[in-house]
Amino acid sequence: MIAVVEAPIALDALVAAVRTDACGAVVTFLGVVRATSAGDERPVDGLTYEAYPAMALSEMQVIATEARSRFDADVAIVHRTGALALGEASVGIAAASAHRGVAFDACEYVIDQLKLRVPVWKKEHYVDGDATWRANTIAP
């Protein structure tokens, strides 16, 4: 399951998409809207996500294929777009494998790469009424 959706992300569906009888471990990641953003002290009351859907899907598919070949893990990736309130999930990832170490590694690889490469943008809306497009910081 590789998808860009408007509706809330269902974690159970992500897990069901990757689990097989050969799996002993399923690791999931949810990125959720939090009350303050890194590098800005103003309280956030929501985010708006925008995607270039066709390219986002193809890049997410490439990342999923990389995860499978590097870690021998099956992954599902769903990114939500539109207006999200505090506490809602913007991205959901599930990684399943026979053993837990590779499931953790694959899940972390996918979110790290997604943040670097997938064409999705977010606008932070502050409680004071202001709003800013916020890019991901590149890890050193």
Partner 1 sequence: MLAFARLRELFGFSSQSRALPNGATLATLWEQLVAERPDAAAMRPSTRFARNGVLAEETTALFDGDEIALMPPVGGG
Q: Which residues bind partner 1 (CB under 8 A)?
A: 31, 49-52, 54-56, 58, 79, 90-91, 111, 114-123, 133-136
Three-class secondary structure of residue 55 per DSSP: helix
Number of residues that bind a copy of itself (CB under 8 A): 32
Is residue 34 part of the contact set for a copy of itself (CB under 8 A)? yes
Q: How far is the CB of 58 from partner 1 (least distance, A)?
A: 6
DSSP state of 24: S
CB atoms within 10 A of CB 18: 23
Burial class (CB in 10 A: 0-12, 13-18, 19+), 58: middle
Is residue 5 part of the contact set for a copy of itself (CB under 8 A)? no
Selection from partner 1, a copy of itself, none that 80 binds (CB < 5 to 8 A by kind) is none
Is residue 41 part of the contact set for a copy of itself (CB under 8 A)? no
CB 80 within 8 A of CB 42: no
